[in-house]
Amino acid sequence: MKTVTFTAPVNIAVVKYWGKRDDKLILPLNSSLSATLDQDVMCAKTTVACSKEFKESSLWLNGKREDINSTRIQNVIKTIKKLALEKNPSNEIISWNVEIRSCNNFPTAAGLASSAAGFACLVSALANLYEIEGDLSEIARQGSGSACRSVLGGWVAWDKGTNSKDSIARQIADENHWPDMRVLIIVVNAGHKSTTSTGGMARSVETSRLLELRAKEIVPDMMRKMEKAILQKNFDEFAELTMRDSNQLHAICLDTYPPISYMNDTSRFIQYVVHSINDFHQTNKVAYTFDAGPNACLYLLEENAQLVTSLLCKSFQIGAEVFRGNEIPKLNENI
């Protein structure tokens, strides 16, 4: 029997991936860019074991048995076993059944990049089990698109590429590049989202003309600007681009037919508070971004963390008053 355990971090995109041009290989319509988070806070942990004694292969997610024969899991396992066979045809463990046990230390399928961390982790663990070396992002991508960005640390671009080999992750700056950058995650709802990312983006590809425009005209320019803002550590510019890109994703979701709403009233309240804080200070102190769920990811610098968190808390207290039917206070004057 051979066992390995790996952890892999979540990544939060600032230029979002939304839409595939090839569903099987998971090739995206547009390039995307994200920051990989520190993995001691949010990560997936996966143990893979293989043994001659195992009667069958099995998959366990957060303690619950799941179908190991799902296409994506099988694509990943088969690709890695094929590489392992090419490397060492006499490696007998390749023919043994595997047991995969994975868990997240944060809400699963709540729009917090759980599949990204999960597949990045699975691919790293399997590669280690079968002693495969080299770039793993192409394989992770075939498990879940955004997973290819989680195999690298720091600021990571996923170039849309022209084929499977070059549609991979590229580190644009390492984890030490912007040491005072922080991400604050506000869990608005930890439940499973009603429209999966995969289903949502397929519907957008079919029905949204805005998505076509975004992929062709907008993202290439956005990628250049975002990369530059990150390399120059220009927070004001970075924040505006991040918020615009998030808003565009959710505009596309509304342009999808039937429309998809991932953000809820609490998400929009957070969006409003962030703009109020930035307007009041006449510069961007904080940026929101929302994935395929209502939860908010806020990017901010360490020096503003206390200011922003206390203003958010105050705003939620005011919000509760409003909810009770009291008059809407002017937020700027209250903070």
Contacts with ligand 2P0, residue ranges (CB under 6 A) = 13, 16-17, 26, 32, 113, 115-116, 144-146, 197-198, 291-292
Residue number with CB closer to ligand 2P0 (278 or 289): 289
Query: Are 48 and 84 contacting, i.e. CB atoms less than 8 angstroms apart?
Result: no
What's the min distance (Å) between Cβ of 228 and ligand 2P0?
A: 19
- Residue 250 CB, shortest distance to ligand 2P0, in Å, is 9
Strands (E), the chain: 2-9, 11-15, 20-22, 27-28, 32-36, 43-51, 58-61, 64-66, 97-104, 155-158, 169-173, 181-186, 286-290, 296-301
Q: How far is the CB of 291 from ligand 2P0 (least distance, A)?
A: 4
Pairwise CA distance, residues 18 & 256, whole Å: 12
Helix axes 219-231, 235-255, angle to 10 degrees: 150
Least Å distance, CB 63 to ligand 2P0, is 22
> CB–CB of 156/33 below 8 Å?
yes
**Closer of 108 and 198 to ligand 2P0 (Cβ):** 198
| β partners of residue 300 | 182, 286
Q: Closest-CB residue for ligand 2P0?
A: 145
Return all residues near 333 (Cβ < 8 A) that are at least 6 apart.
none
Cβ–Cβ < 8 Å for 132, 104:
no
Nearest C-alpha neighbor of 8 from the set 108, 111, 112, 119: 119
The least CB distance from residue 19 to ligand 2P0, in Å, is 10
The residue (of 292 and 311) whose beta carbon lies closer to ligand 2P0 is 292
- Residue 65 near residue 58, CB atoms below 8 Å: yes
Instruction: Tell me the closest approach of the beta carbon of residue 246 to ligand 2P0, in angstroms.
Output: 8
How far, in Å, CA of 29 to CA of 301, rounded? 31
Residue 202 phi, psi dihedral angles, 5° rounding: -65, -40
Q: Is the dihedral of CA 165, 252, 193, 246 positive or negative?
A: positive
Please report how close the Cβ of residue 145 comes to ligand 2P0 at its closest, in angstroms: 3
Minimum distance, C-beta of residue 189 to ligand 2P0, in the bound complex (Å): 16
Is the CB of 84 or the CB of 287 nearer to ligand 2P0?
287
